[in-house]
A and B are shown apart, each in its own frame.
Chain A
Amino acid sequence: MRAFLLITWNDLRQSFTDRTLLILMFAAPLAIATIISLTFGGLANESNPIDHLPVALVNADRGSPIADFGEAFEAILAEPAMIFTGLDARVVADEETALGLLTDDEVAAVVILPQDLSRRLTGPADRGPANVRLVTRPDREVSGQIVSTIASGLLDAFSGSLALSQAAVFGAATAEGVPPAEILGRDAFTQLTESLQDPSSALDQRVIMTQSSLRSGGAGFNPLVVFGATQAIFFALFTANGNATSILEEVRDGTMTRLLASPSSRSTLLAAKLGSTFVMVLFQLVLLFIAFTGIGSLLEGRLVFIWGQSIGRIAWVLLATSAATTTIGGLVAAIAKSPEQSGVIGTVITMYMAVTGGSFGFRLQSPIRLTSAVHWGAEAFEELARGGTDIWTNVLAMSGFALVFGAISLVLFLRRFST
């Protein structure tokens, strides 16, 4: 234990006298996250929203004698081949289920078609518009806007097609010399004429779309959460890589020779080096998360705990994230032949995890993201920030990373040092 603490302390004090390293560890992620979230507000924090944007559709429309627009809406959204909307819509039985999916971030938006959609669209305007509701998430504003645009585009198209069919019916009736009422049936004809008698009635008098946002648990959602978490873990990976690489640097510089020649066991030495990396990363993350809380509070003008109030869970996520990050750094160093190689491999892996985990402003929906420690960590922090509690899958995943990678790197290092 003495050797462990000594080596850890020795690593830490050397790191803390390295100004460049400190800038990389603290100033860079703070500055980047703050600048991005100030510049883009809540907008850029999202996944690439164009591709497979998940949407839940609740179709309560009962149709009208002339048309069933709800069904058409459903068909168009759910059939990707019909129109390129980029939406990945699933039809859900009721509003409650849909909002549940939205809360769990399974879908980015919910579209609810009202019972009277078709009747309002085909009936006279004076009965008041049908209300198509769009519910979005506060952290997915871009997605909300896209879904809104697509949905209102569809409704526009429906009213356009309605006008066309009206023209067609009357055209046919005139040509055949048959009263239009006989073509459509009396009720439908009455409706159609009623709507035609009011040709100025614009679409927005027949249907409106209201947009609301899911309430995020208590405190308003802060873009710093998404940027802060992904940037912090991104830079923590750099720290872990750098610190673990110091094992190889000590080999190159010969100080490892002294350590190995001292009366401490090999496993103590290696555990100490990984331990110091863990402490370093944990320290960095804790400081960054505190700093983000400070910045968030400054921006809001009052004290806001942007990471939520559950200190215990925050600690769990911090520990698991630090452990996963540390062992990723350790594994890279264990595989690499030289400090230089470790730096290069480490950068590649860090970049990979940053890209797939959402550090660069877009979030993948593909399962590839599950390979990224940034994803697992940031997702858990966002969950906590939202007031949620569902972090244990993430903690488990990151502990899994830590156990597997930690074990492999220890074995590789022990083998390397017992020539």
Chain B
Amino acid sequence: MSTAVEVSGLGKTYASRSGKSVRAVDGIDFRVDEGELFSLLGPNGAGKTTTISMISGLVTPSQGSISILGIDLAAHPVAARAQIGIVPQEIALYPRLTARQNLEFFGRIYGMRGDSLRSRIDELLDFVELRDRASDRVETFSGGMKRRVNIAAGLIHSPRILYMDEPTVGVDPQSRRRILDLISHLKEEQGIAIIYTTHLMEEAEELSDRVGIIDHGKLIAVGSLDSLVAMVNEDDRVEIELAIGGDRDSFLRGLRTMNGVSAAELESVGDPESGACRVEVLASGGRMLLPQIVEAAGAEGVPVTSVRLEEPNLESVFLSLTGRALRE
């Protein structure tokens, strides 16, 4: 598989009005292969948009180099830009034009015309499920519909690389679902390289082949989901809720002897009348232990009302790397 985007030592310092300079991106390196979805995950102001702007040729980097399908962006900006499609963070469409007119205009800007442009527009309108609204002005669309046209506009010239900057910001859960499904299709069926920024770890987890965690302009960790999680070396948490009955102490003792379990504690919950309680187990490979735990409870006559498994995720990775939560 060949390299779609390669970035090394990339940095951007903005001169701020007060004379101080803002180091928005601070020397980052990453590589995205063709057909791969790479997420840049980071909180507000981390430098995601600045990074995207630099690798789209919109903002000139203060340092570092960018290569697009082997083309040096600084040396051949026009050729490199032709390979890239962008879905900006804000909705970048002409509100007074219809969906079709918007796509037509951006297609022509990329040098498309005639039948090939027309059929590409139809294809994309089908893809984003807006064929029936094609002739309505974009200003009459809902937020989610605008987002979908925004994505279609970035795809109009069939780019081999697509940048999406927080494409689900400000949409309802249903529309978000639709957009995420669209992106999965794009990746699987069209094989284009996608760089996707988000501050939502669920999105990064669902879509990404690899994730780069960005904070204060620095890429603090890059890798597949599993490798990132493994990196923080944190236990899974299993929460077991018990109703009254059976030998709880013996159940607890049994849990502590299980393979991989580092702790098991009893906590009483809410209503003392019912005698219900909760057991919290910290273990590596918690998922593998679940059958064993349920079996042990049965053997001790302890009635289990619910079992919940919490595996470490990007949230915990971020927390352990920065000491802060991803969401303030």
Contact = CB atoms under 8 A, between A and B. Distances in A.
Most-contacted residue by chain B among A7, A254, A261 (CB, 10 A): A261
22 contacts: A2-B108, A14-B96, A14-B97, A253-B93, A253-B95, A254-B90, A255-B94, A257-B86, A257-B88, A258-B88, A258-B92, A258-B153, A260-B58, A261-B57, A261-B58, A261-B81, A262-B81, A262-B106, A262-B110, A263-B82, A263-B110, A418-B60
A264 B110 CA distance: 8
Nearest first, the 4 closest Cβ-Cβ pairs linking A and B are A254-B92, A254-B90, A263-B82, A263-B78
Interface in A230-276: 253-255, 257-265
Nearest to A256: B92
Contacts of A253: 90-95
Given A257-B58, A261-B81, A263-B79, A17 B96 contact: yes
Nearest to B85: A261
A8 B237 CA distance: 61
A10 B101 CA distance: 9
Given A10-B105, A253-B94, A260-B58, 12 more contacts: A3-B109, A7-B109, A10-B97, A14-B94, A253-B90, A255-B94, A257-B58, A261-B58, A262-B81, A262-B106, A264-B109, A419-B14
Interface in B7-21: 14
B269 interface: no
A194 to B, nearest CB: 86
Interface majority SS (helix, strand, loop, mixed), chain B: loop
A6 B56 contact: no
Interface of A: 2-3, 6-7, 10, 13-14, 17-18, 253-255, 257-265, 418-419
Contacts of B79: 263
A149 to B, nearest CB: 56
User: Max chain A CB contacts within 10 Å: which of B78, B89, B105?
Assistant: B105
A262 B109 contact: yes
Contacts of B59: 419
Contacts of A419: 14, 59-60
Nearest to B78: A263
B201 interface: no
A261 B179 CA distance: 23
A254 B153 contact: no
A10 B94 contact: yes
Nearest to A255: B92
B270 interface: no
B326 interface: no
A418 B57 CA distance: 10
A255 B93 CA distance: 6
Contacts of A264: 78, 109
A260 B86 CA distance: 11
B66 interface: no
A265 B106 CA distance: 15
A263 B81 contact: yes
Contacts of A254: 88-92
A17 B139 CA distance: 13
B125 interface: no
B61 to A, nearest CB: 10
Contacts of B14: 419
Contacts of B110: 262-263
Interface in B44-61: 56-60
A264 B84 CA distance: 13
B111 interface: yes
Contacts of B111: 2, 263
Please indicate which of the listed interface residues A7, A17, A253, A255 has the most CB atoms of chain B within 10 Å of its own CB: A255
A266 to B, nearest CB: 10
A264 B59 CA distance: 15
B328 to A, nearest CB: 26
Contacts of A2: 108, 111
B81 to A, nearest CB: 5
Contacts of A17: 96
Contacts of A418: 60
Nearest to B154: A258
Of listed A6, A254, A258, residue having the most chain B CB within 10 A? A258
A2 B111 CA distance: 8
Given A257-B58, A261-B57, A419-B59, A6 B92 contact: no
A265 B78 contact: yes
B169 to A, nearest CB: 12
Contacts of A260: 57-58
Contacts of A14: 94, 96-97
Contacts of A263: 78-79, 81-82, 110-111
Contacts of B78: 263-265
B106 A258 contact: yes
A278 B232 CA distance: 61
A18 B137 CA distance: 13
B58 A18 contact: no
A262 B106 CA distance: 9
A6 B90 contact: no
Contacts of B153: 258
Given A254-B88, A257-B92, A258-B86, A6 B60 contact: no
Interface string B108-150: 1111000000000000000000000000000000000000000
Which of A254, A257, A263 gathers most chain B CB within 10 Å? A263
A14 B95 CA distance: 9
Contacts of A257: 58, 86, 88, 90, 92
Nearest to A6: B108
A248 to B, nearest CB: 14
A71 B140 CA distance: 79
A412 to B, nearest CB: 17
A265 B109 CA distance: 11
Contacts of B106: 258, 262
A253 B57 CA distance: 18
Contacts of B82: 263
A261 B156 CA distance: 13
Contact of A261 (B86, B91, B94): B86
Interface centre among B84, B92, B109 (most CB of A within 10 A): B109
Nearest to B59: A419
A261 B78 CA distance: 9
Contacts of A6: 105, 108-109
A265 B92 CA distance: 19
Nearest to B108: A6
Contacts of B86: 257-258, 261
Nearest to A17: B96
A181 to B, nearest CB: 93
Nearest to B87: A258
Contacts of A13: 97
A372 B93 CA distance: 37
